[in-house]
DNA sequence: TGATCTTTGGTGACTTGGTCACCAAACTTG
DNA sequence: CAAGTTTGGTGACCAAGTCACCAAAGATCA
């Protein structure tokens, strides 16, 4: 009982026993392979996903066909913004893709609505998740408007690096992550390489001097 | 009974009588003068506001002291994003200011939480409002990243014009509305003036050829 | 094993937008 | 009306996005 998936989600551990039972009975665990489209424009979202393993990348497709990265959902978090659209019966304009193999709990609309009605703890969980995502969006907007590209790229590289300090992504992918052009990424990375912070090969960037990158990021948030 | 404020809000007219009664009893109508700070970072939001009259401008203040415009709440709409933070007991990073004299219904946290629990219609109202705001934010991000400044300024001028086709705003204000610098606004407006679309005087822009502005806006959304 | 195709990255020229420094004109306040 | 404040204008410069094009690294397949 103590090792149920429910305890992996911070706000849910305080749920009373009856609600837990309903939540477990009314939802199911699903696994999807890397690359799966989890939700997309035109498709009604019918489930709230709580991620157990893997990451989901949420992007906005613009009319002109280009894409902007919005945020990334990690294990222990939920794709909660879809719920607004799920309950509002409105179409979602963003799309979510599994970046890795993903294991998740899918809560159907019916169960979700029921639990929101019944459980104050579940309600707080949902609204807290909202609050976090919305704050993230505000921060993103702020970043796009005021932050220099080199700083944004440096901090994104640090986030995306694996345990060997390698980022597996093409310049084009990094471009859409930051909402900029591939050329800008190429130039900025050359500059980082010239300074001895990174080494590049096709499809990957090795961070060989994280300190340099970190100093660049810090220097920008310190104009007080 | 039919002329209650409740009917001014699209999703609420279907509320059953008992819920209506609770909503009316548990909320109050407030009036604040133009310029009032309705919510701001550091202050916990204790009420959900439903606007009856006037407009509220929601901005994000960055660490560097600059501001980005996020969205505008009109009569018949709600400041719903504050509720996430209200229920999540998290601080809000954005601030809301009355742009005009504002009349609104303030629903305290307690009443709000209660109604979300009890009423499916109220729940749908809340989630629909969320969905709309979030979609607006997505559109904003898309705009910032991909749209040219002249197009963005033209469409904003058309939005902000009063019945006499005059926009009452300084270049600096228009700058923060669009997340750009005053100088850029000045240059772009000079260009619009040169083309005979607008006339300027201190603190206001008169649209004398809306067609020109509208054509510019349309031309940009038509690259299919 | 090459020949060809596709994906990825590099580059120069140019345009747009943001920053800085500074000034001038228009209002406001005493 | 004099002095201060707000608003708008301008040139020089830098950062970033766009366009056109090419070259190198892998992938595919006869």
Give tens-digit pLDDT for B114-134. Answer: 999 999 999 999 998 988 898
* Predicted pLDDT at B223: 46
**DSSP 8-state class, residue A44:** P
| Residue range B137-160, pLDDT digits in tens | 999 999 999 999 999 999 999 999
A86 or A25, which is more confident: A25
| Residue range B19-36, pLDDT digits in tens | 999 999 999 999 999 999
Region B65-85 average pLDDT: 88
The angle that helices A109-118 and A17-25 make with each other, rounded to 10 degrees, is: 170
> Nucleotides of chain D within 7 Å of a protein C-beta?
6-12, 15-20, 25-26
Domain range annotation of chain B:
5-144, 147-220
- Residue A103 phi/psi, 5-degree rounding, is -115, 135
* Predicted pLDDT at A86: 73
Q: Which of A86-100, A180-194, B178-192 has the lowest mean pLDDT?
A: A86-100
Name the closest residue (CA) to the C1' of nucleotide D7.
Answer: B202
Which residues sit opposite B201 in a β-bridge?
Answer: B204
- Answer whether A68 sits within 8 Å of B142, measured CB to CB: yes
ipTM score of complex: 0.91
The angle that helices A120-146 and A109-118 make with each other, rounded to 10 degrees, is: 110
Give residue B83's pLDDT band: very low, low, confident or very high (50, 70, 90).
confident
- Report how far residue B5's alpha carbon sits from residue B24's, in angstroms, rounded to the nearest whole number: 9
Strand order from edge to edge, sheet including B198-201: B166-168, B204-207, B198-201
How far does B185 lie from chain A, in Å, by closest CA?
Answer: 15
Region A51-77 average pLDDT: 90
Paired tokens of B90: 């998290």
**Which of A135, A151, A179, A222 to probe by mutation at the B interface, max B CB count within 10 Å?**
A135
Question: A118: which chain B residues are within 8 Å (Cβ-Cβ)?
Answer: 117
Paired tokens of A194: 């010239």
Nucleotide nearest to A202 (CA to C1'): C8
Nucleotide nearest to A187 (CA to C1'): C10
* Predicted pLDDT at B89: 66
3-state DSSP call for residue A204? Answer: strand
Paired tokens of A183: 């050329």
- Report how far residue A43's alpha carbon sits from residue A157's, in angstroms, rounded to the nearest whole number: 32
Is 80 exceeded by the pLDDT of residue A65?
A: no
State the DSSP H helix or E strand holding residue B207, giving kind and residue range, or none if neither.
Answer: strand B204-207
Residue B174 CA, nucleotide C21 C1', distance (Å): 22
**CATH topology for the A5-144 domain:** Jelly Rolls (2.60.120)
**Which of A78, A94, A141 to probe by mutation at the B interface, max B CB count within 10 Å?**
A141
The distance of Cα A223 from the centroid of its chain, to the nearest Å, equals: 29
Is 70 exceeded by the pLDDT of residue A36?
A: yes
Q: Are A69 and A57 in contact (CB under 8 A)?
A: yes
Which residue, A60, A117, A120, A118, is CA-closest to A91?
Answer: A60
Paired tokens of A133: 């995502």
DSSP labels for A118-173? Answer: H-HHHHHHHHHHHHHHHHHHHHHHHHHHHS-HHHHHHHHHHHH--TTSEEE--HHH
Same fold, B5-144 and B147-220: no
A137 to chain B, any CB pair closer than 8 A? The answer is yes
- Answer whether B130 sits within 8 Å of A68, measured CB to CB: no
* Predicted pLDDT at B82: 82
Instruction: Count CB atoms within 10 A of the CB of residue A211.
Output: 9
CATH no. for B147-220: 1.10.10.10
Which segment, A89-98, A104-113, B58-67, is predicted with the most confidence on average? A104-113
Q: Any residues with CB less than 8 A from the CB of B136 and at least 6 apart, and which?
A: B71
């Amino acid at each position: 009982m103590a090792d149920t998936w429910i305890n992996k989600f911070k706000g849910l551990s305080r749920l009373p026993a009856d609600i837990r039972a309903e939540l477990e009975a009314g939802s199911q665990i699903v696994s999807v392979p890397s690359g799966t489209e989890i939700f997309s424009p035109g498709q009604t979202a019918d489930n709230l996903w709580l991620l157990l393993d893997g990451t989901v990348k949420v992007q906005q497709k613009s009319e002109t066909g280009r894409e902007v990265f919005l945020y990334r959902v990690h294990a222990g978090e939920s794709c909660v913004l879809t719920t607004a659209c799920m309950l509002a019966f409105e179409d979602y304009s963003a799309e979510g893709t599994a970046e890795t193999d993903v294991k998740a709990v899918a809560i159907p609309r019916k169960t979700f609505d029921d639990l929101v009605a019944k459980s104050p703890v579940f309600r707080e969980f949902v609204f807290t998740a909202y609050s976090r995502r919305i704050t993230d969006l505000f921060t993103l907007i702020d970043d796009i408007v005021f932050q220099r590209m080199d700083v944004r790229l440096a901090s994104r590289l640090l986030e995306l690096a694996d345990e060997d300090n390698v980022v597996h992504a093409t310049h084009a992918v990094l471009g859409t992550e930051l909402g900029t052009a591939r050329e800008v990424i190429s130039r900025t990375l050359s500059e980082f390489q010239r300074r001895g912070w990174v080494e590049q090969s096709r499809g990957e960037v090795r961070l060989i001097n994280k300190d340099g990158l970190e100093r660049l990021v810090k220097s920008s948030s310190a104009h007080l």
